[in-house]
Amino acid sequence: MRLKSLILAGALVAGVFAAAPASAYEIDVLTGKPLVVSGDPSRATVDPIPREEVAYNGKMGGGSIFINTSERRLYYVLGNGKAIRYGIGVGRPGFDWAGTNRVSRKAEWPDWTPPAQMLKRRPDLPRHMKGGEDNPLGARAMYLGSTLFRIHGSNEPETIGQAVSSGCIRMTNEDVIDLYDRVKVGAIVTVVR
């Protein structure tokens, strides 16, 4: 794999780079970051959007969360002009929303009980699912007020950056654990489109 990366780097320098599928390589030679989530190259997927500290000049204070669904990014505001930016998955068309609420509860490896509205659309879903690696809420969940919406992990990291949920904000399990450890119950969450 190193040889492929070196050849690709040489082609870039020589200006003769022909586009190759990202899934063919383990490392992006320009950034040095991994591109393969799975160790099996035949099932390779592009690495989800990386978490990073960024400048933040918005009005929200430290400890709050700002979500831009059209950008598909969540910002945990650190204060002092800084935030941590995470990639997210958002509600598909017709299930997107905006507003302000508070984190009312947090749970590790939460159980999932699909709401009645979801069961009406998808009667094939289980009525209840214990928390764990196969649970669609993933490793952590932060509940938003008394709404049906949550910020939660996902066992489908390939959906990060997509609009596929029923309105919840999805994150990779790694990112949702990082956010969960930072966020306090009562934190303000603002969602804009």
pLDDT, position 127: 87
Q: Residues near 187 by Cβ (< 8 Å), separated by ≥ 6?
A: 63, 64, 65, 102, 103
Q: Which of 88, 103, 168, 171 is catalytic?
A: 168
* 28 annotated active-site: no
pLDDT, position 59: 92
pLDDT, position 4: 37
pTM: 0.73
pLDDT, position 131: 86
In this prediction, the residues of the chain whose per-residue pLDDT falls under 50 are: 1-46
Q: Residues near 179 by Cβ (< 8 Å), separated by ≥ 6?
A: 65, 74, 76, 84, 86, 140, 142, 151, 171
CATH 2.40.440.10 domain range(s) in the chain: 52-192
pLDDT, position 40: 43
**Distance (Å, whole) CA 106 – CA 60:** 21
Q: Which two tokens stand for residue 94?
A: 């017709």
Could you report the per-residue pLDDT of 57-72, keeping only the tens digit for each? 999 999 999 999 999 9
Q: For residue 153, count CB atoms less than 10 angstroms from its CB and return exposed for 0-12, middle for 13-18, buried for 19 or more.
A: buried
Q: Residues near 91 by Cβ (< 8 Å), separated by ≥ 6?
A: 69, 97, 163, 165, 166, 167, 168
Q: Which of 64, 152, 154, 157 is catalytic?
A: 152
* 17 annotated active-site: no
**45, β-bridge pairs:** none
CATH number of the domain at 52-192, out of 3.40.50.620, 2.40.440.10, 3.40.50.300, 1.10.150.120? 2.40.440.10
pLDDT, position 56: 95
**Within 13 A of 134's CA, how many CA atoms are on the CB side?**
4
Share of the chain above pLDDT 90, in %: 52
